[in-house]
């Protein structure tokens, strides 16, 4: 039984929503608002964040947390939706307990977690900018890291992300580096290849965090549909309409 605090909304088929590095469960708000009429949604903060302090642990630990939330809700099975690290946690849930996963929807995530540690000069520079300089400089740099190039770093656009994330973009939680290191050790493709679970994988063309090339690799392992969205890593917030339409269609099948 989970000791993690979680929240729920809506009615219909059960859907567990798992967030990524440094983002609390409330980051799903654009999807919660759109899916609550069709689904019974549950979301939570990953260990080390917000309402669930404590050691971050491994991706397997995080997956057991997710299963614990399902236990606490009395869900024998659920559709599982994950973004970024949350997508890798969702993969691990499916590996640990495939009978409990009705389907997977994996957004802007990884086939190889080590891909989150890019050594390309442009990636190194923008990641460095999120950690140095004034708060305003770090705030803008983080916005640029997760946004598509065509989205201007206006106060309105930055505030939209901060509202979804529930924190200032410059205020990276202390648990985030530990989450990244846990992510970097994950590669579940061999285990996923033996599963028979309906799934959809979506990547974003301009994603600087989870390269778009990761999507087809993951879809190949799962033998499922791959969708390329026009956006950056924060596409579930910045183009919620496209992501919500994808999820509603997937969950209806």
pTM over 0.85: yes
- Helices 135-146 and 155-165: crossing angle in degrees, nearest 10, is 80
Residue 92 lies in a domain: yes
- Is pLDDT above 90 for 156? yes
Q: Report if residue 1 sits inside a domain.
A: no
- Judge whether 10 lies within some domain: yes
- pLDDT at residue 166 in the model: 85
Looking at residue 130, its pLDDT comes to 64
Confidence (pLDDT) at 119: 52
- Rounded Cα–Cα distance for residues 96 and 192 (Å): 10
Q: How far is CA 83 from CA 12, 21, 27, in A?
A: 22, 9, 10
Per-residue exposure over 80-112, b if at least 16 CB sit within 10 Å of its own CB, e if not: bbbbbbbbbbbbbbbbeeeebbbbbbbbbbbbb
CATH code, domain with 10: 3.40.50.1820
pLDDT of 20: 95
Q: Length of the chain in residues, anyone?
A: 253
Its domain, for residue 173, covers 6-252
Instruction: Give the model confidence (pLDDT) of 60-114 as tens digits.
Output: 999 999 999 999 999 999 999 999 999 999 999 999 999 999 999 999 999 999 9
Q: How many domains does the chain have?
A: 1
| Residue 222 contacts residue 199 (beta carbons within 8 Å) | yes
How buried is 174 (Cβ within 10 angstroms: 0-12 exposed, 13-18 middle, 19+ buried)? Answer: exposed
Residue 202, helix vs strand vs coil: strand
């Amino acid at each position: 039984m989970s000791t993690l605090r979680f929240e729920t909304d809506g009615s219909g088929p059960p859907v567990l929503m798992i967030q990524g590095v440094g983002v609390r469960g409330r980051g799903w708000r654009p999807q919660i608002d759109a899916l609550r009429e069709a689904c019974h949604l549950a979301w939570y903060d990953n260990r080390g964040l917000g309402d669930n302090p404590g050691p971050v642990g491994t991706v397997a630990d995080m997956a057991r947390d997710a299963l614990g939330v399902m236990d606490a809700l009395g869900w024998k099975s659920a559709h599982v939706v994950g973004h970024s690290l949350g997508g890798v946690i969702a993969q691990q849930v499916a590996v640990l307990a495939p009978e409990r996963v009705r389907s997977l929807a994996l957004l802007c995530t990884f086939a190889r977690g080590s891909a989150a540690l890019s050594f390309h000069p442009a990636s190194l520079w923008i990641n460095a900018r999120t950690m140095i300089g004034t708060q305003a400089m770090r705030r803008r740099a983080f916005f640029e890291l997760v946004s598509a190039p065509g989205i201007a770093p206006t106060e309105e656009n930055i505030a939209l992300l901060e509202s979804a994330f529930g924190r200032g973009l410059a205020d990276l939680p202390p648990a985030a580096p530990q989450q990244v290191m846990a992510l970097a050790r994950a590669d579940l493709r061999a285990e996923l290849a033996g599963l028979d679970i309906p799934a959809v994988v979506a990547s974003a063309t301009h994603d600087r965090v989870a390269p778009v090339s990761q999507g087809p690799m993951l879809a190949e392992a799962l033998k499922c549909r791959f969708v390329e969205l026009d956006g950056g890593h924060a596409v579930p917030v910045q183009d919620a309409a496209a992501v919500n339409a994808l999820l509603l269609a997937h969950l209806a099948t």
